[in-house]
Structure 1
Amino acid sequence: MGAGDDATVIGRAVVYLIPIVFLGIGFYYPLGVVLRDGLAPGPLRAVLTDPYFLHLIAFTLKQAAISTALSLALGLPGAYLLARYEFPGRRAVRALTAVPFVLPAITVGLGFILFFGGNGVLNRFLMWAFHLPSPPLHLLYSLTGIVLAHAFYNAPIVMRTVGAAWEGIDPSFAEAAAALGAGRWRRALGITLPLLSPAIMSSAALVFVFTFLSFPIVLVLGGARYATIEVGIYTLVRTLLDFPRGAALIVVETAISLGFSYLYLRAEGRFAVPVQGERKALRIPFFRRGRWGEKSLLAGYTVAIGVLFLGPIGAVIADSFRGEAG
């Protein structure tokens, strides 16, 4: 082997060694320190027996469950609307569902304060419209504010995931059931829902994990009173400099999130329905005659979802153009 070959081998070794060293120093070593401190009997026992930390864990699970339910409640009608109806601007609306993914959490928090706050746009409008002496809505700095902000972020996940699955359902299944006398609701519950269940479960699991691990939204809109595990970790490590109990709380949070991920993967395998279809249902023009009751509900839903999503974004944009006097 010549000098050139030796240099090549050394060069390759250096190339492989750099990312390994980087991962070791930047990821595995800090992770090892956290696991070492977090799994120590003293701090772990303190976290699992202290009523304050047990309250943090319970509240984190509670707000994640409520946030997931609200995200599903807001996302599923949107998925149905995008999958089954054709209307002007449909593609633009679908594209707008990706906007929350790219917005910084602090921007979302600021938008909620500017729009839903006591002196926010919505309260000022309601006070003007109904001649009220004080703000009628008190949504921020509460569980309601946290859940609404989480739904702002995560309902689009449900819309896009379930909507794509809904568009891919072969209409032959429903047509065959209708030919056999099955009504619309029976087809929806007996055919459509089972076919959509993998997508619904997948989006719900993602939303639950995201809201369970949420930090900036809870910190801005909840504060210490409505703290979650993430805020508790921040308080222990950043404010109290209590690294052992902070590491123990990280271990507990990681174990819970991994546990829910495992349950989701197990459930997904059981509930998944293999579908092979070549046809796709044609979308119905929204402004065609018929189904006025359903369309009225969808129109009301569109207004509500527009207030929730466009209100905070518009408030931030409008506030950014105001001068100091404004």
Structure 2
Amino acid sequence: MKGFTYLAATDMAQALAASREGAFIAGGTNLLDLMKEGVARPRTLVDINPLPLSAIEETQHGGVLLGALARNAATAYHPLVRHRYPMLSAAILSGASPQIRNMATDGGNLLQRTRCYYFYDTGTPCNKRDPGSGCSAIGNLARQHSILGASSQCIATHPSDMCVALAALDAVVHVQSPTGARSIPFAEFHRLPGDRPEIDNTLHQGELITQIELPPSPQFVQHSAYLKIRERASYAFALVSVAAALHLDEGGRIVEARIAIGGVAHKPWRQTQAEALLQGKSPERAVFAEAGAALLAGAVPQGRGPGSNAFKIPMAQRAVVRALEMALAGQTSLLPGSSAKGQAA
């Protein structure tokens, strides 16, 4: 690990001023790993834990504000989140391990780097780590890699479970910089690789995430789900994950639907055109399959032979159907005790 300077910021102004030469650190569950592997080499670590950014509170309009320094575990188990956004609680609890969830912060979760094997291996070319060096994943072992939104420069995926649910919930990210504050719709926060795969998101230099806003979503409480498919039962990143929510009218027809997929692209993947196909329809498997096919339109497998991820395309299509069926049944996740029925608050 390269040497660095450590600063514990005592206020926002000090943190923002110091960030020009380094990186913010809170839980450190991803950044420290990157530093140990020589992937990240900040000259200064700006510890923002002393800042008052850990509150989870209700907004005037019935939404919820998540402080950027709120720990993932505290968020998942908070009554406002469990009762009003059970899909988000389930997504968080499906990620990492209890120990990591106790340390990791909500703001840090949004900023996770990819878990691509080649990105972490400094002995291999990687455009995300070293722009212009090439992408070692293309044409090689790519089981964990993208099938949507990739480019000739990068086929890595975003690893977060929490972010998939936030995408489905139309969250908003509030940030602060030395020049002022701004709000970023979640759909615009992460970006596809294009020809600049080293840039994961739309944050400007020196901007700090302060809060994540969840808009009121009472219509989805009874019928939302998070489904995660992985190679082992715990502490594994998703091959495919789906956050799904349905709003049904009194006759049982779909008024509105939300579907976001993880593990398939450089960012949580959501297409409102696919969701619109469900509006006014009866919630049936064939209708769900139509939406899944539309959401995966344009998917391209990566890798070759045993390293190919071609299996992800039908897997993702079936996962969309299964997640929508779970949402319809009020089964928020496959975790024990996950039913959302009767939790509206």
Bin of the TM-score, shorter chain as denominator length: under 0.3
Larger relative contact order (C-alpha < 8 A, sep ≥ 6)? 1
Larger radius of gyration: 1
When normalised by structure 1's length, the TM-score is: 0.25
Structure with bigger helix share is: 1
